Copies of this chain bind each other. A is one copy, B any other.
Amino acid sequence: MSKCEQCIVRQFSSLKALNKEELLRMADCKTSYTIKKGEPIFEEGETVNGVYCIKEGVCKMTKLSDNGKDQIVKLVKSGELLGQRSMISDEPANLSAVALEDMEVCFIPRSEVMGFFNNNNQFSMNVMKTICDDLKDSDSHMVNMAQKTVKQRLADTLIYLEETFGVNEDKSLHIQLSREELAGMIGTATESCIRLLSELNKLGYIALTGKKITLLDKNKLKRLQ
């Protein structure tokens, strides 16, 4: 069993507030999992009974819409925690978590995390601030969905992907999403997403080479109507 104390990613989440003793306790009760690309960590409606700490990899948080399409609500990367809201609300998961790359995650049982939560003020404050940030992001996201065109949302999303997940040596977006997944992020039909990517490509704002997307003119992307 690896030591949480020596795990780098805990520095990036609410867990950074835990002290040595708490970290030892956590190392003792955690379970590590390897999740293959495309596999779920948990599904909407499932009782999770703990939180997952992402050690490696990126996952999408999705929600099934009434029309049968999966909407991607957010992306979560290494260092972040999954299932905090469900833990506090003591409710089943509202979203599914599915690996976009091979992942390594650690599961920490609810009882343990709630212990930290109740006894470590800094930890609980961190968790709450994270949830508050999520709420703010979600509200803004909602307004964008309601008020912006698909083209604007695509441009916003491409810029978000570059800023959040970085680029490869050839400047292409590091994170690899299928066209269907990208459409699921911006909330549109896959064909519309592909068509708009082609359009931005022809305009010279982005470059498409195979599956790779490279942003060439972020200012023009931002100013799209």
CB-based contact A85/B132 at 8 Å: yes
A interface residues, tally (CB under 8 Å): 37
> Which one of A11-19, A139-147, A166-174 contacts B?
A139-147
Residue A214 at the chain B interface, CB threshold 8 Å:
no
CB pair A88–B142 under 8 Å, yes or no, is no
Q: Which residues of B contact A85 (CB under 8 A)?
A: 132, 135-136
B63 touches A187 (CB 8 A): no
Is A133 in contact with chain B by the CB < 8 A criterion? yes
| Interface contact B67-A148, CB-CB below 8 Å | yes
Q: Is A94 an interface residue (CB 8 A)?
A: yes
Q: What distance in Å separates the Cβ of A193 from its nearest Cβ neighbour in chain B? A: 12
What would 16 more interface pairs be, CB under 8 Å, given A63-B139, A94-B139, A145-B145? Answer: A65-B143, A65-B147, A71-B142, A71-B146, A73-B139, A73-B142, A85-B136, A88-B129, A88-B132, A91-B136, A94-B140, A128-B131, A131-B131, A138-B139, A145-B187, A146-B187
Chain A residues packing against B (C-beta within 8 Å): 63, 65-67, 69, 71, 73, 85, 88-89, 91, 94-95, 118, 121, 124, 128-129, 131-136, 138-148, 186-187
Residues in B neighbouring A63, C-beta threshold 8 A: 139-140, 143
A66–B145 CB distance below 8 A: no
A140: chain B residues at CB < 8 Å are 63, 94
Residue of B with least CB distance to A186: B146
